[in-house]
A = this chain, B = another copy of it.
Amino acid sequence: MSKEITNRKDNYSQWYNDIVNKADLAENSPVRGCMVIKPHGYSIWEKMQGVLDKMFKDTGHTNAYFPLFIPKSFFSREASHVEGFAKECAVVTHYRLKNDEEGKEIVVDENAKLDEELIIRPTSETIIWHTYKGWIQSYRDLPILVNQWANIVRWEMRTRLFLRTSEFLWQEGHTAHATKEEALEETRRMIDVYADFAENWMAMPVLKGTKTDSERFAGAIETYTIEALMQDGKALQSGTSHFLGQNFAKAFDVTFTDQSGNLEYVWSTSWGVSTRLMGALIMAHSDDNGLVLPPKLAPTQVVIVPIYKKEGQLEQISAKANELKQQLQEKGISVKYDDRDTQTPGWKFSEYEMKGVPVRLAIGPRDMENGTLEVARRDTLEKEFISQDQAVEHVSQLLENIQSNIYEKALKYREDNTYTTDDYEEFKDILNNRGGFVYAHWDGTAETEQKIKEDTKATIRCIPVDGDQQPGKCIYSGQPSSQRVVFARAY
């Protein structure tokens, strides 16, 4: 077992890095903060993309593509946006290299300096709203429901694979509407899509709520978020949907003629999820043996491994395995039959365990005699022998079972690590020593939020939109509070 990984309890952070590395998900590149997403990691991202893309199309959106580069001046147009986004970013200043005078090296050609620097997009509101100005004249041109799949660069000083990288992949929806109500409805629709995806595909329970002023997207009037709890008791913001009001329409002067002939500014939203979801997926379910994937997002759902000593045995096992593979594929299940002779069954077992394949079937000569096979489930590591005749039915059900089991397990973990308190000492003790989500009253001020952050390193993850919305008194200041909010330390 060269692939041993660090135990979660010993060093959670190293455990995460080990899984990303040893399950072949991603690796650091020679460019600081940028990652290489390896084939296994990318195939999971592709599954996520496929599902999300269908959800977006089912809710009326189409894809488009906008430039990677944004003229520097665009960032100054929306006042709060520039503060939030135009700082740590990659700046293109030149457009040509040349051989140096000795001809040994290539150097930047100082004659090829851009008149205006270009910024690699850290998010695309500005370039998109500049473009929408040309697309929108009348109410007939609305709504515009567009999404973009793209790479994004935000220069980060401390990076972690998937969770925080200078370049990452994401989707960003940018919609334009005739009315405030319609834009608000869209904002909420998309956070619901994200919550649906997180819970029903990633098997990851999430809290849904709005952000406080200080945590809001730069340029937004309201930011909706979904927040998941990782196994170290820290929260991970997994998706956001922003109601932008008329801010970007005003910044880029985008108006339309309404049905009464009046000229109005357009209302807008934006919403996005990124390869950060890969980090969430890894941390939500994995264990000390490696990656655990929800069957619905596993690129390979079932692997079949033959166990044999002689060639004749392999032939017989392969016939059965290929038959099974075909039957499972007919049910829409993705199956890999690994009959490589360059690796032992033991090596394969630990490899697929590490990579999170939900179900492993093993067939040996004795199984062929008995008409049985061994089924191992990745989530609980339980094994059992079943009849070959029942295999297809059994595996189909098992995949559903694993999907719901890991969701329930994650939900139970969250419930076990969710606290409600009105006592500030207890509040600090939980956040400083135990972790998890803490429901507490807050007076609504940025000052209190900041003080609590200094005491506990925790931030307000969201103001929940569901559940208990009783008023009370702020846990820190004693001032009136309209409802409990959720505190946690976060990624």
Contacts and interface: CB of A to CB of B under 8 A. Distances in A.
Interface of A: 27, 29-31, 34-39, 41-43, 45-46, 62-72, 74-76, 82, 86-98, 105-106, 108, 117-120, 127, 130-131, 134, 140, 146, 150-151, 153, 155, 167, 169, 342
8 contacts: A30-B74, A31-B118, A35-B67, A42-B65, A75-B97, A86-B106, A91-B108, A92-B92
Given A43-B62, A105-B76, A67 B29 contact: yes
Contacts of A92: 90-93, 120
Q: Which 10 A-B pairs have the closest CB atoms?
A: A34-B67, A37-B65, A39-B62, A91-B94, A95-B155, A31-B69, A93-B93, A29-B67, A90-B92, A39-B64
Nearest to A85: B97
Contacts of A68: 34, 120, 151, 153, 167
Given A36-B66, A88-B95, A91-B92, A72 B167 contact: no
B106 A82 contact: yes
A41 B66 CA distance: 12
Given A76-B105, A91-B92, A91-B94, A43 B29 contact: no
Nearest to A275: B65
A387 to B, nearest CB: 33
B96 A93 contact: no
Contacts of A108: 72, 91, 93, 117
A86 B36 CA distance: 22
A206 B340 CA distance: 39
Given A72-B108, A75-B97, 12 more contacts: A27-B131, A30-B71, A30-B74, A35-B67, A36-B65, A39-B64, A42-B63, A67-B167, A88-B96, A89-B97, A90-B118, A95-B155
Given A64-B37, A342-B140, A97 B119 contact: yes
Given A72-B97, A106-B76, A131 B36 contact: yes
Nearest to A69: B31
Chain copies in the assembly? 2
Contacts of A120: 68, 92, 120
A455 B119 CA distance: 43
Contacts of A127: 29-31
- Pick from A38, A97, A342 the residue with the most CB of B within 10 Å: A97
Contacts of A38: 64
B106 A97 contact: no
Contacts of A89: 95-97
A20 B120 CA distance: 26
A71 B29 CA distance: 11
A150 B42 CA distance: 13
B105 A98 contact: no
Given A31-B71, A97-B119, A127-B30, A64 B90 contact: no
Given A89-B95, A167-B68, A75 B31 contact: no
- Pick from A31, A45, A118 the residue with the most CB of B within 10 Å: A31
Given A31-B118, A127-B29, A97 B105 contact: no
B86 A97 contact: yes
A155 B96 contact: yes
A455 to B, nearest CB: 31
A320 to B, nearest CB: 24
Contacts of A150: 151
